[in-house]
Structures are given as C-alpha cells and as structure tokens.
Amino acid sequence: MAVSDKQQNGEILAVRRADGESRTLAASLPRLVLEARRIAANVIHGLHGRRRAGAGESFWQYRRFVSGEPAQRVDWRRSARDDHLYVREQEWEAAHTVWIWPDRSPSMAFASRDARDSKLERGLIVAFALAELLVAGGERVGVPGLMNPTASRGVIDKMAQAMLHDDTTRASLPPSFVPSSLAEIVVLSDFWSPIPEITTMLAGLSASGAHGTLVQIVDPAEETFPYSGRVEFVEPEGGEKITAGRAESWANDYVTRVALHRDQIRAETNRLDWLFSTHTTSRSAAELLLFLHAGMAVSKGGGRSTVKVGLSA
C-alpha cells in the first residue's frame, strides 16, 4: 500500500520527536537519579511493613510459651531470668506492591521560566525517590507495562534502564492492567487528558479493590495563564495550533475550565475512595514526596489519608 506524503511527514516528525525525547531523557536521567536519591535520603521514613508475628529476621517481642508448642521454640536465655517460659517472636513484614506511573508523554516536557524542573523531570525525580523509600521500607515497586514489581535496592537503576529501553508510545495515562486488591497505585501526570479517559482509567484500576493517588503535576504558567498580547499556542502531542489575539482576555475562562476539570477528577476519586492532589513545579519535590509517603503510611493503618504537605487538594 502506498504511503501518502502526509502520513510520511507525520512519521518523520514522530521519529524526530521520539529521537529528541529519548536523547534528552538519556542525558538527564543520571542527574535525576542523583537528585531522587538525595531527596529520598533527606525524607524521614519508617517501615511500611505491617507488623505481626511470623517468619522474618527482625525481633518483635517475647511472649509466654503455650502448652503444646514445640520445645525448641523456647528462648531459654530469656526464660532463665523469670519463672515462666518465653518464646522469641520475629516480625512478619507483609510487603505489598506499589505501582508508580510517571507520565512521560510530550506535554510533560513543558517548563516555564518560573519552574524548578520540567513536569517530566519532576515526575521522574519523585517517582524514583518514592520507589527508593518504599523498597527501603520493605515494599515492592513496579511500573505498569514497563517493570515488574521488585524489592531490589537498585530499584531506581532498574526503573531508569526500563525507561531508556522503552520504545513504545509515550502515553499520558497508565496502560490497562489488573492490580491486586491490596496494591497501591500512584499516577504522576499533568492529567490534561479528557475526563472520559481519566474516568475509564480509574474504573479499570479500582475494579479489583486497589487504592491509589493521582497527582496532577503542573507548571506555574498552567496555573496562572500569564500570557498577554498575540500568542500562538501549540498542542504538544498533536501539533495543533491556536492563536490568541489578546491572550489576557482568555485568562478567566481558562482558570474556570481548569477548576472544572479538577472538580470532575476529584469527584471521581472521592467516589472511589482514592486521593487527588495538585503539585506545581515551582515548589519543592520533597513536599510532594512527603505527601505521598505520609499518605501511604496512614492508608495502611486502616483508612485513606487526608494529609496535605504543601499541596493543593
């Protein structure tokens, strides 16, 4: 079948865009990995494992020996200090899986002069740092469609390598998959996708009973719309262009539509008992990391978290 000039030009543009994105990502990943590790090291973190008796390496507690138990379970040294027999119990760490999805689509590359990082860089830094904290706390971390869950201490390197060798289309939302009912899901994206696509994603991910958190990462310019005069806007993922003769006259309508978009996302996450927050790249990455880490710690204690650390929710 013959390929039209339009199709061929589209493929050339797509190849060039993919090539430029991959080179940029490859060049920046070492810095992002170091930044993620620095942030993770500065965040106070606790053990995520659910503490209960069972097979493990960490001492948990002594308890009284129960008649009928095997005698080899008695801790004779501890028992010699008392009139009772004691058993030394170990801690069972029930690691669960946390799926982390950092949006790497073209729209995430945007960065205005007021931003500390591009949305892509911020999403990757936080994804890497969160993975490092979770693995250190005994959890398994996976990336949907890209990396199987792992508890390896080299989780950041595994994530980075998986991304560097990923030749699939950079989707804005995670691929469809069925997480376990105990899984936790974190989606870091700008969430400028149409609401029907977001609700479909949420319905699929929550169908098994899994819980999760959506974080909308935005640039300061996407919050305030600081444009005036004649401005040409280019859609990064489709290439469509639109020109505003007096851009400042669009500001109120823009802010209203963004608020509506977020309200619709929040309504759906509230209905499913998920969390939704926004994070601006002019703020510290550590704030977002603290929010996510604290939220998971609270949710594992028996309820969803409403903790807010420097975020809008």
51-53 vs 86-93, strand pairing mode: antiparallel
* CB 156 within 8 Å of CB 61: no
Alpha helices (H) in the chain, listed in sequence order: 5-42, 76-79, 119-136, 155-164, 195-206, 220-224, 251-272, 285-299
Query: CA distances (Å), 196 to each of 93, 192, 286, in order?
Result: 39, 11, 31
Q: What is the pTM of this model?
A: 0.70
Looking at residue 72, the DSSP 8-state letter turns out to be: G
**Rounded percentage of the chain residues whose pLDDT exceeds 90:** 33
Average pLDDT over residues 163-168: 86
- Give the tens place of pLDDT for each residue, 232-291: 887 777 767 888 788 888 889 999 999 999 999 999 999 999 999 999 999 988 888 888
Residue 220 sits at φ, ψ, to 5 deg, of -55, -35
Average pLDDT over residues 148-172: 88
**Fold (CATH) for 27-49+94-299:** Rossmann fold (3.40.50)
Domain map of the chain by residue range?
A: 27-49+94-299, 51-93
Instruction: Average the pLDDT over each of 63-67, 84-88, 139-143, 284-288 and give the range with the smallest value.
Output: 63-67
Region class of 229: left (phi > 0), else alpha (psi between -120 and 50), else beta = left
Residue 26 sits at φ, ψ, to 5 deg, of -60, -40
